[in-house]
Amino acid sequence: MMEALRAGVAVFDSGYYYAAHDVWEAAWLEERDGLLQGLIQYAGAVHHARERNWEGCVSLAGSAREYLVAADARGVNVSDVREYLVALEADPERVERGPPQGITIDGEIVGLGELDAEAALWASPALAEERGENAVIQGVAYAREDFESGEADSVFVRLAIDFVTDADKRAIIAQRLGEHAEERRRRERDVEGLF
- When the pLDDT of each residue in the chain is averaged and rounded to a whole number, the result is 92
Distance CA 117, CA 124 (A): 10
Q: Is the pTM of this model over 0.75?
A: yes
pLDDT at 70 over 80: no
Q: What is the pLDDT of residues 25-61, one digit of tens each?
A: 989 988 888 899 999 999 999 999 999 999 999 999 9
pLDDT at 190 over 90: no
Count helices and strands (H / E) in the chain.
9, 0
Percentage of the chain modeled with pLDDT above 90: 76
Q: Is it true that domain 2-110 has CATH number 1.10.3450.10?
A: yes
What per-residue confidence (pLDDT) applies to 192?
76
Question: Residue ranges per domain, the chain?
Answer: 2-110, 113-193
What per-residue confidence (pLDDT) applies to 88?
97
Q: What is the pLDDT of residues 112-143, one digit of tens each?
A: 999 999 999 999 999 988 888 877 888 989 99
Residue 11, class by beta-carbon neighbours within 10 Å (0-12 exposed, 13-18 middle, 19+ buried)? Answer: buried
